[in-house]
Structure 1
Amino acid sequence: MCGIAGIFNQRTEQTPDAQTLVNMAAIMHHRGPDGYGFKIMEDTGVAFSHARLSIIDLNEVRGRQPFISDDGNLLLAHNGEFYDFKRIRADLTAQGARFRTKSDSEIVMHLYAREGLEETLKHLRGEFAFGLYDKSEDCMYLVRDRFGIKPLYYTHTPDGVVFGSELKVLFAHPSVKREFSTEGLYHQLIQVMVPGSTAFDGIYQVPPGHVVKVKRRNGQLELEEHKYWDVDFPQESEYPGDDVDEATYIEGVRKHLLEAVQHRLTADVPVGCYLSGGIDSCAILGLSAASTQTSVKAFTIGFDSDEYDETPIASEMAEATGAEHHIMRLNADDLYDHFVKTIWHTERTIYNTLGVAKYLMSQQVNEVNYKVVLTGEGSDELFAGYPAFRKDMFLHGLDHLPDSERAAWQELLEKNNRLFKGAMLAREEHVSPAFNTKMGFTPSCVQPWLSCASVALPLIAEHRRDEVKDYDPGKAIADTLDEDMLKGRHPLDRAQYVWIKTMLEGQILTWGGDRVDMANSMEARPAFLDHHLAEYAFTVPPHLRIKGNKEKYVLREAMKGLLPETLYKREKFAFMAPPAHTDPKKWQAVVKLAEQFLSKEAVEEAGLLDYAEVERTFAKHESDDVSIDEKVQLDAVINHMLGVQILHHHFVKTDVPVVAAQRAKELGWLA
């Protein structure tokens, strides 16, 4: 697991600057503190750099990237892990391939040389992002894993294309523009982003399951985007009926999850587990302990609020597996004290301080010399665990229920979802005409954020507001969704598809995953997002994902023997940090941050927000006339306002190329 960067100039005679390449690696030193490297392909205008976190093949010299193929034709920089790579290496060696390292990364060049990119991608299993330059074709491929676990950004400058694992890596290049787009600002304020976009003008992400091909023709670079994988549920008519054999699916889920966990225990360093009070992380810990037959170290976040704290159940699971249990207890002061630093790593706004909590946890993991943990992310996406999915199943997938049963469902939904109204669930039903046209209804998962548009639009500075007064954020998101993946699907499948394309990639795997984990040089491996397991999970009938009102039914049954009784029977509780309004000390910490970043001077200097509206938002939050769920929504909006101002401070006001150069000098990383 590492950080990657690269430059592909339009003119072959324009050789990339070596120190700029090193600076790009240095500013992401947190992603790769174990070494750095860069390679310039002569007479091509192409060069890559790399910051290394050594997990497989710890030899500092032998495992150093970027790699150049023996014939000098291919240049590779890779971030992430390829599982089952030893079998692939053995097959390739039998065909005459010669490997120079023990690294999993090297398989890409050998596969590509023999089979081409399309066939190579079929072999790759895991979480990854890489850049591959083919000199004979004079083209570069930017490739991202199927779910977007690993980040990959790119931009087109007047000189060529620049790419990297993080935005700050691109901003370390002096030719890359650093300014907000107004649409990007709008989406930062409402939390949900347009897939493939960022907050910044001209900066894009390679979408999950996609390749961006950069080809040089007649001194110009042409960019082409291609999808190689997608979330493909069966047609609704293809599912078996209610008399389906449950045991077959239960055993299938158990088999595929165990295999995914076992692959992710592969490392040349110790592997631990994140552990909350949910069945997802508990299942991962249980399977890891059973597979290794040794004590596994488990890491848990504890909050100073009984409503949000899950440590009692996590402790019960740790004891049941014999795990060495590390609990990090957080109070109100901890979260906002580290908010600014967390935003430097997330490079986008966050609605809840869970991202800060995860940042602090990865810090503690690093301090006890662990580099790798397995996590439970992805389970709710595959097996319909979130409150929004139950709501959509009830509203759109259970039309046949009699009124008495629907009333019971409605009552239970209201009771279970009270903590999430205003954040993970909309305060009131919100309809997006674009989503209704595209898929027949507006998924509950995007409603809370799209419903913030009326609050967010007035917050945008007046000189920018006109640019987006007719902009429809719901349509912008819906337009990116593949209609072929929605047509004819069950309503629950459609809802899960949208969540995977928006919330999973843009939130959970970003500010709740890679960015806050790698901030402290810690690799997270979400076993549920193994694509072999996912493709099997897509075949599980909707009524076995949510059976009655029990979410993740098939997973729950598959893991029944591993889970303590209380956890097996427990309903889903979305893992969140307590919002600011729940604690006076926490709210005072917000006010203190606002004095710095949301002052009249700071707001007017950035030119992003309308200061009068900022003041009105705070006054409304402090009023006794607003409901609790409205306060939850305002908590999120205020976090976003702070976030955009902090992003401006970190990446626009601050001269990032200078910071990167200083960092390289401090590290002694010189070209």
Structure 2
Amino acid sequence: MCGVVGWVDFGRSLTREHAPVRAMAATMACRGPDAEGLWFGEHVGLGHRRLAVIDLAGGAQPMLARGDPSAGPAGVVTGADSMTSGGAAHQGSVIAALTYSGEVYNFRELREELRAQGHQFRTSSDTEVVLRAYLQWGDGFVERLNGMFAFGLWDGRRQRLLLVRDRMGIKPLFYHPNADGVVFASEPKGILAHPEIDAVVDTDGLRELLAFVKTPGHGSYRGLREVRPGEMVVVDRAGVRPRRYWSLTVRRHTDDLETTVRTVRELLSDIVARQLITDVPLCTLLSGGLDSSAITALAASALRRNGGGPVRSFAVDFVGQTEHFRPDELRSTPDAPYVHEVAEHVGAQHTDIVLDTAALIDPLYRTGVLTASDLPNSMGDMYTSLYLLFRAVRQHSTVALSGESADEVFGGYSWFHDEQAVNADTFPWMSVIRPGGRDPETVTELLDPDLAGLLNLDEYRDAAYRQALAEVDHLPDEDGRERRMREVCYLHLTRFVQVLLDRKDRMSMAHGLEVRVPFCDHRLVEYVYNTPWSMKTFDAREKSLLRAAVADLLPESVVQRRKSPYPSTQDPGYERALRDRLAEMLADGEAPVVPLLNPKRVEEVLNTPVDSTGFGQGRRAVELALALDRWLRRYPVRLAFDGG
């Protein structure tokens, strides 16, 4: 993994503009703690912070291809020798330069194919494969890549920049167009470090922040865009032009059930085996649910076949959660008993990371979450606990495999199977976030009524929903049920999953931990997306195909366990601590968030009984108010609700 930054400006020379790019790269140190590299051409500056995972000695970046521009793709590829930290910049005969973040899991096959075309490799890194693939195949090279990636590639021959993001948007990449080019980075903080860009959030930006609907391409800060999943952005003297190279497409599914289940298993086995390739310690994230248990079991099996292992696994838990667990509408059982059963079943070397309320409420960690996220959120402990889990995991491993996204791919959430939620004329997950059609307390409950009215989140969500539906293609003979469930799956794979992937990436990379997501392999996503809903639920349960595909690897209790999402602490002391912080904030006459709040409603929430489930009335609203205040204090952000 890594952090990338860059600046292209066709209106001036950047050969002496080292300070802005160095400052941008410095914000990415958490993503790349192992090395820094910078490179400058006449109109381009690239920066890179490296987390060494493959070819620890040979993968330095930005990586350059040198040679005679008229000699085709055979230029010599070198590391960041044009300028390293404290060095001098020389463009020389650079024909292409790459600042790259991610992993390409089929890089070995691509390297052999490129060797057959006459390419000679100086490193064993996937970075060099990506650069040479571009030199060989041009813009079409990205369609050959299997993996998670986000990168900027400067073509010195054509004087243009390509910004490329993987098909599912596992790795982030943002850009800010300007009059003569663009500034880009892995995270908004990298762009906001540029001296010519201000941190402004206007009305639409705040709507995007609060609506719990991640609009593809929207960057929340004014002028900031995010490269969409499956998109390539071309930047040259003619401007900035996004171009889609991949999207979910409709194909008729012709396999029978037995073949479909077998294909899912074969795909998963291949995906996990590929994603185990690394030159650093690796582990899995285990929750005791079907998804993470399947990944852990497949990883354990693959390691044994290759003479390795045992697989190492980690789980997050809270003090007293198992002993005092209370079922709620989303979680019927605690995780820990299932985690331990799976770990014993597959022979994993397992560690529980057990957190208490003091850690979850600690201002230092909550500030760390904000800094990693660049934006506030209402999910509080569900971010802080993930942040702390990844911090602990990083002490033992550099790479982790996660079960994230299986619910979006296979239809695992409860609302996939709730007719009222499915048939509602909105995003199905709103049935949980705003039950009964009420405005969700996490968004408007504590806000000033005039501000809530200005935001008009219902209208914003509705427009986003219509836009998403308009993107969905259908087979001509799909019946009504199959049509609607294709739409529901599409909404999750293009909108909902982005929230979770972004959370996973920011919280893990804050500690230099690379988290891989096998269920986001585009081959699996495409195959299952085009499998009829009736087949996805052939046993009248959620995730029928996945359960059937991996049942032989897991304990029966896990195979039969109901979906349980990422845990939230049930300690009543946590909500009491939140309310204490809110009361302290209100007593502070300088608290910047106070003008945005409804004082009367805040007092009412402070005086209501504590609800410990994590989704009760008031808790998420308090989380949001505190997060907004911390954001306004810590970030040089200006709110512009009047469009100014």
TM-score, length of structure 1 as denominator length: 0.82
Question: Structure 1 CA distance, aligned partners of 2:606 and 2:448?
Answer: 20
Match of 1:588 in 2: 576
Q: Secondary structure at the match of 2:235?
A: strand
Cα deviation for residue 538 of structure 1 reads 1.8
1:603-643 CA distance string (max 9 Å, x none)? 4x358x523x155145236425x999996253223222222
Q: Distance in 1 between matches of 2:169 and 2:585?
A: 31
What SS does the aligned partner of 1:494 have? helix
Structure 1 residues 254 and 590, CA gap change in structure 2 (3 angstroms): same
Which whole-Å deviations, capped at 9, do the CAs of 1:437-474 have from their partners, x for residues lacking one?
Answer: xxxx3231144557565764575568866754598211
Does the CA contact (< 8 Å) of 1:50 and 1:77 recur in 2?
Answer: yes
**Which amino acid in the other structure matches residue 132 of structure 1?**
L
Which residue pairs with 1:67 in the alignment? 63
Q: What are the Cα deviations for residues 367-387 of structure 1, in whole angstroms up to 9, with x where unaligned?
A: 22x100111012111110011
Distance 2:159 2:438 in 1: 46
Specify whether residues 179 and 537 from structure 1 end up closer, same or farther in structure 2 by C-alpha distance, changes over 3 A only.
Answer: same
User: Which residue is 1:406 aligned to?
Assistant: none
| Equivalent-residue separation in structure 2 for 1:6 and 1:452 (angstroms) | 44
Quote the residue 2:616 is aligned against.
632
Rounded Cα–Cα distance in structure 2 between residues aligned with 1:394 and 1:468: 24
Q: Please tell me the root mean square deviation across aligned C-alpha atoms, in Å.
A: 2.7
Give the counterpart of 1:78 among 78, 96, 100. Answer: 100
Please state whether the residue corresponding to 2:553 is helix, strand or coil.
Answer: coil
| Partners of 1:595 and 1:470 in 2: CA distance | 27
Higher relative contact order (CA 8 A, sep 6+): 1
Q: 1:20, 1:97 → 2: CA distance?
A: 35
1:362 aligns with 2:390: yes
| Number of residue pairs the alignment of both structures matches | 586
* 3-state SS, counterpart of residue 313 of structure 2: strand
Aligned partner of 2:502 in structure 1 is 510
Q: Look up the match of 2:416.
A: 389
Contact 1:152 1:205 (8 Å CA) reproduced? yes
Give 2:290's aligned residue: 279
Amino acid at match of 1:66: P
| Cα 1:140–1:149 shift into 2, 3 Å | same
Alignment match of 1:205 (pick from 222, 226, 239): 226
Give the deviation of 1:557 after TM superposition.
0.8
Matches within 5 A, 1:250-269: 250-269=261-280
Q: Residues of 2 paired with 1:470 and 1:555: CA distance?
A: 36
Cα shift at 1:175 = 1.0
Asked whether the 8 Å contact 1:617–1:634 carries over to 2, the reply is no
**Counterparts of 1:601 and 1:97 in 2: how far apart (Å)?**
65
- Tell me if 1:94 matches 2:116: yes
Q: Kindly indicate whether the alpha-carbon contact (under 8 Å) linking 1:393 and 1:492 is maintained by their aligned counterparts in 2.
A: no
Would the alpha carbon gap of residues 109 and 596 (structure 1) be closer, same or farther in structure 2, given more than 3 Å must change?
farther
Tell me, in whole angstroms, the C-alpha distance in 2 between the residues paired with 1:274 and 1:185: 33
Query: Which of 639, 642, 650 is the matching residue for 2:634?
Result: 650
For 1:8, give the aligned amino acid: V
Q: CA deviation at 1:225?
A: 1.4
Kept in 1, the 8 Å contact 2:421–2:431? The answer is: no
Q: Which residue of 2 aligns with 1:302?
A: 317
Q: CA 1:286/1:618 → structure 2, altered by over 3 Å: closer, same or farther?
A: farther
Bigger helix share: 1
Does the 8 Å CA contact 1:392/1:495 hold for their aligned counterparts?
no
Alignment partners' CA distance in 1, 2:457 and 2:347: 58
Unmatched 5+ stretches in structure 1: 397-430, 432-440, 655-671
CA distance in 2, matches of 1:551, 1:599: 48
- Over 3 Å counting, the alpha-carbon distance change for 1:508 and 1:599 in structure 2 is farther
The answer (yes or no) to whether the contact 2:412–2:543 under 8 Å persists in 1 is yes
The answer to whether the 8 Å contact 1:277/1:567 transfers is: yes
Q: Does 1:51 find its partner at 2:42?
A: no
Is the aligned partner of 1:185 residue 2:206? yes
CA distance in 2, matches of 1:572, 1:175: 47
Normalised by the length of structure 2, the TM-score is: 0.85
Q: Which letter does structure 2 place at the counterpart of 1:172?
A: A
Q: Tell me, yes or no, if the aligned pair for 2:446 and 2:621 is still in contact at 8 Å.
A: no
Q: Secondary structure at the match of 2:635?
A: helix
Correspondence for 1:336 among 361, 370, 389: 361
In structure 2, C-alpha distance between the alignment counterparts of 1:630 and 1:28, rounded to whole Å = 32
Tell me, which stretches of 5 or more residues in structure 2 are unaligned?
Answer: 68-93, 476-481, 639-644
Give distance in 2, aligned partners of 1:52 and 1:86.
21
Post-superposition offset of 1:161: 1.3
Pairing 1:213-612 to 2, within 5 Å after superposition:
213-217=234-238, 222-234=239-251, 238=252, 245-293=256-304, 294-303=309-318, 304-305=320-321, 306-307=325-326, 309-337=334-362, 338-352=365-379, 353-368=381-396, 370-392=397-419, 396=423, 441-449=425-433, 453=439, 456=443, 468=455, 472-481=459-468, 483-487=470-474, 490-505=483-498, 507-511=499-503, 513-578=504-569, 582-595=570-583, 601-603=589-591, 605=592, 609-611=595-597
Q: CA 1:562–1:458 in structure 2 vs 1: closer, same or farther (change >3 Å)? A: closer
**Structure 1 residues 457-466 or 591-600, which shifts more?**
457-466
Q: How does 1:75-224 map to 2 (within 5 A)?
A: 75-117=97-139, 119-157=140-178, 160-217=181-238, 222-224=239-241
Aligned-partner residue type, residue 644 of structure 1: L
